Homo-oligomer: A and B are copies of this chain.
Amino acid sequence: MAVDRPIAQLGRRLRVGFVGGGADSVIGSVHQIALRADGLGDLVAGAFSIDPQVSRETGAALLLDPSRIYDDWEEMLTAEASRDDRIDAVVVITPPSLHQRISSAFLAQGFHVLCEKPMTDSAEAADILARDAARATGLFALTHCYTGYPMVREARELIGSGAIGEIRLIESEHAAGGPDMIRDPEDRSRRHWRFRRESMGIASVLGEVGSHPHNISEYVTGQRVQLVSASLSTIAPGREVFDNAYLNVTYDGGAVGRIWSSFVAAGQEHGLGFRIFGDEGSLQWRQEDPEFLWHLTPGQPLRRISRGLPSTSDVARDSTRLGWGHPEGYLMAFANIYRDFLSAVVAHELGGDPAPLLDRLPGIDDGLSTMRLIDAAVRSHEAGGQTTAVTGSR
Contacts and interface: CB of A to CB of B under 8 A. Distances in A.
Nearest to A231: B248
B279 A267 contact: no
Number of copies: 4
Contacts of A271: 325
A178 to B, nearest CB: 5
A8 B56 CA distance: 13
A29 B296 CA distance: 29
Interface in A35-87: 36-39, 57-58, 60-63
A143 B213 CA distance: 37
A282 B235 CA distance: 15
Interface stretch (A100-108, A201-209, A297-305, A367-375): A297-305
Is the interface on chain A under 10, 10 to 19, 20 to 34, or 35 or more residues? 35 or more
The SS class assigned to the A binding surface is loop
A288 interface: yes
A183 interface: yes
A296 B311 contact: no
A11 B299 contact: no
B5 A61 contact: yes
A63 B304 contact: no
A112 interface: no
A385 to B, nearest CB: 6
A328 to B, nearest CB: 5
A324 B187 CA distance: 26
A368 B360 CA distance: 48
27 contacts: A1-B58, A3-B57, A7-B63, A8-B60, A13-B63, A36-B36, A36-B37, A165-B266, A168-B235, A178-B323, A181-B298, A229-B229, A229-B385, A231-B248, A246-B248, A267-B296, A267-B298, A271-B325, A301-B303, A302-B303, A302-B304, A302-B306, A303-B304, A321-B331, A331-B332, A384-B386, A384-B387
